Amino acid sequence: MSFAVNKNEKIRVTIEDLTHDGAGVAKVEGYPLFIQGTLPGETVDIHVLKTLKKYGFAKLLNIVEPSSSRVTPPCHVFPTCGGCQLQHLSYESQLIQKRKSVRDVMDRIAKLPDVPVHEVKGMDDPWRYRNKSQIPFDTENDRVITGFYKARTHHIVDTDVCLIQTKEADELMTMLKYKLQQLGIETYDEHTHKGMLRHLIVRKARQTGQVMVVLVTRHRKFPQKDAVVELIQQQLPNVTSIMQNVNTANTNVIMGNEMITLYGADVIIDRIGDTEFEISARSFYQINPVQTEVLYQQALDYANLTGNETVVDAYCGIGTISLFLAKQAKEVYGVEIVPQAIEDAKRNAELNNITNTRFEAGPAEEIIPKWYAQGKQFDVLVVDPPRKGCDEKLLETILTYKPKKIVYVSCNPGTLARDLRILEDGGYRTKEVQPVDMFPHSSHVECVAWLELTYVAQQ
């Protein structure tokens, strides 16, 4: 089969667009080529690596004419590391690009060209925002390396610094990297399933400054633990919790089931707004605390509560949105599939003396119809599903019982657009979409959409 370009060809192209995962797109006689590291408007020389039926991949050789939005990435392992995709694009342009990608799916998938997609709410300081780092270790040529996995591989790109994680995480990973051999602690080897230290996890509660460190080991027996605890305390006196997690399995799941407290408390406490949360080593918690407040405030604004409403928070995790809403609602019902997260949600409600929340563990698509069948009525439904979007059965339930207002929090604009189309066909109108930048320098974008029931569709 012949294409407009051939494998191994070296050609000059103009970049027309950027994909959702941050690759530049050039078209040669209509045939799209994806080229990482390039930006719209740029003229570049490329080397064609692979040609498939409908599109191909090429490697950037040389930038002939750079985009005016191009910046020098401050991180020395970008783009090899794979953690960030857009560091070569100015932050201002990243936000423009993310809005454009949301606009695009609203037009193409949701078929809602008239729905307002607002400017992305970005960060004033878009660095060092991650409150949790999971850092693997390995040994190469007798030297310990640490950093992050190269995109789509399990090969660590060695670094001492990651500009999107906390300084505490940088300090601890570097300190351990240079001390492990001296301490006689071997790094874990995924291929042979030998060695000891698998991962270092560092979590920081932004509002209180408390830091939790988790050392994931292959054995429970950890003879050097006292020495490690002492080193961590010397390095960072604000560490309030040091935990050992035992993961004996031959798996790439990071944590195992057994937790041992080596020092301090087994939780750290953080605040979102004025609500406090206890976070244990394995609880889910939004990773950008600054933007989480922006996101939740947006959901609250769209919910526009007066104090008389009964609200559902579907896919509620540890109840963060539920507790945020509870202060302005009559009652909030949270549902989440992970039972441990529901335990956390209940404890966090107690911790904040919030008494108007009810939490139940199970699939949202089964629990919500059950609540309706019991005769409960809901005024506002908040959903915050994983990347695959709302379950079909949940959408059917919504269209059967028709709550007046829906606030849809989404980490995947594509599935959001798909679900909005279904809800629109069932009688809802999408009023607005507000994108929020939770992950600067990555290609991800979070959205909050506000829907109102406008008419009851004829069956």
Site residues (vs ligand SAH, CB under 6 A):
284, 286, 315-317, 320-321, 335-338, 341, 363-365, 384, 386, 391
Paired tokens of 122? 């970005």
Q: By the 8 A CB rule, do 200 and 135 touch?
A: yes
- Which of 264/389 has CB closer to ligand SAH? 389
330's enclosing H/E stretch is none
The amino acid sitting at 237 is P
Q: Which of 212, 219, 182, 179 is nearest to 197 (CA)?
A: 219
Taking the least distance from each CB to ligand SAH, the nearer of 117 and 335 is: 335
Of the two residues 35 and 335, which places its CB atom closer to ligand SAH in the complex?
A: 335
For residue 245, the minimal CB distance to ligand SAH (Å) is 19
Active site residue 162: no
The minimum distance between CB 418 and ligand SAH, in angstroms, equals 16
**25 vs 287, which CB is nearer to ligand SAH?**
287
Which member of 81, 390, 411, 447 is catalytic? 411
Is-contact 364 337, C-beta < 8 A?
A: yes
Whether residue 301 is annotated as binding a ligand: the answer is no
Instruction: Tell the smallest beta-carbon distance from residue 316 to ligand SAH (Å).
Output: 5
Q: Which residue is nearest to ligand SAH (CB)?
A: 317
For every residue of 397-456, DSSP letters joined together read: HHHHH--SEEEEEES-HHHHHHHHHHHHHTTEEEEEEEEE-SSTTSS--EEEEEEEE---
Nearest approach, Cβ of 265 to ligand SAH (angstroms)? 22
Is 331 annotated in a binding site? The answer is: no
> How near is the Cβ of 293 to ligand SAH at its closest, in Å?
11
DSSP structure class, residue 79: T
- Spatial strand order of the sheet with 310-314 comes to 357-361, 331-336, 310-314, 380-383, 405-410, 446-453, 428-436
Q: Are 454 and 434 in contact (CB under 8 A)?
A: no
CB-based burial label for 192 (10 Å; 0-12, 13-18, 19+): exposed
Please identify, using beta-carbon distances, which residue of 262 and 338 lies nearer to ligand SAH.
338
Min CB(361)–ligand SAH separation in Å: 9
Burial letters for 333-367: b for 16+ Cβ neighbours within 10 Å, e otherwise? bbbbbeeebbebbbbbbeebebeebbbbbeebbeb
The answer on whether 377 is annotated among ligand-binding residues is no
Q: Which is nearer to ligand SAH, 34 or 408 (CB)?
A: 408
Q: Give the pair of three-digit tokens for residue 458.
A: 């004829």
List 68's β-bridge partners, or say none: none
Task: Report d(CA 201, CA 214) in Å as an integer.
Answer: 5
Binding site annotation covers 286? Answer: yes
Task: Give the annotated binding-site residues for S-adenosyl-L-methionine.
Answer: 286, 315, 336, 384
Catalytic annotation, residues: 411
Task: Give the annotated binding-site residues.
Answer: 286, 315, 336, 384
